[in-house]
Amino acid sequence: MIERTVKQSNSCNLRQRTLVTIIIAFILLIGIILSGALIGPEKLGVNLQLRNIPPSFAHLFGTDWLGRDMLARTFKGLALSFGVGLTAACISTIIALVLSLLSSVNKAMDAVITWLIDLFLSMPHIVILILISFAAGGGFKGVVIGLALTHWPSLTRLLRAEVLQLKNMNYVAVSKSLGKSRLWIARHHILPHLIPQLIVGFVLLFPHAILHEAAITFLGFGLSAEAPAIGIILSESMRYLATGMWWLAFFPGLSLLAMVGIFDLLGRNIRRLIDPFHSQKL
């Protein structure tokens, strides 16, 4: 009896810590997004009198060679990366859901979707991303299309395995014997069980989308040079690192890694909270 009480107490404490971690992560992300969204063009303007100032209380991240405040540019870039990641993750999640449901139609459709998954996973990720982004015209639209069309395979494979397992459940067989359509079964039996995986997969797609957006933008195949994106900031700073202006790359790069880490922390804790396998440990 005492041992059971201790286990229940530990489980309750672990659940509370998980909820607190999720709330803190949400607050940090909202703070980053609002900070970037509230920054106006006047804070991103050129001021040649403030060129190349190292980090100080007046300019926490320093200024660049044009006198632009790096703190404002960094948070604006993070907000832009968030918008790209949000749009791309939404589209990728929808693609993964549709393909996983189509794989349950028949064996031929499942074979085609499995072949597509293996095809995309076998190709160099960054190369196909650059090709799709370039073919789509680059810029925000091209980057989003490239990210959306290259980040669905892993989630699709996970959802497909879940769908195939659900198809063999007894209640699905009973529904089929009662004459229920495939659409009815998908909506009432399969889709509700996929929601936890969809939420977790959606959140975990964010870090990959944001990092890949910054990577191809850094290489010159992503967002336009006028946009205050993190990839653009890091690419421009490479020319000035040899002169000792280390803050131009250090703070934007560290901020990008921090936001990606927050997303990863958020995704892992949401999975621990809502995933049936992990929930048994709470």
Q: Would residue 173 count as lying in a domain? A: yes
What does R_g of the chain's alpha carbons equal in angstroms?
A: 23
Q: What does the pLDDT read at residue 187?
A: 74
Q: Would residue 59 count as lying in a domain? A: no
Q: Would residue 79 count as lying in a domain? A: yes
Q: Would residue 121 count as lying in a domain? A: yes
Into how many domains does the chain fold? 1
Q: What does the pLDDT read at residue 12?
A: 64
Given a cut of 70, the residues of the chain with pLDDT beneath it are: 1-12, 275-282
Q: Would residue 104 count as lying in a domain? A: yes
CA–CA distances in Å: residue 66 to residues 55, 62, 186: 15, 11, 57
Q: Would residue 48 count as lying in a domain? A: no
The CATH number given to whatever domain includes residue 200 is: 1.10.3720.10
The domain in which residue 141 lies consists of 2-42+70-279
Q: Would residue 52 count as lying in a domain? A: no
Q: What does the pLDDT read at residue 10?
A: 55
pTM attached to this predicted model: 0.79
Q: What does the pLDDT read at residue 8?
A: 52
Quote the mean pLDDT of the chain.
80
Q: What does the pLDDT read at residue 43?
A: 76
Q: Would residue 261 count as lying in a domain? A: yes
17-32 tens-digit pLDDT: 878 888 888 888 888 8
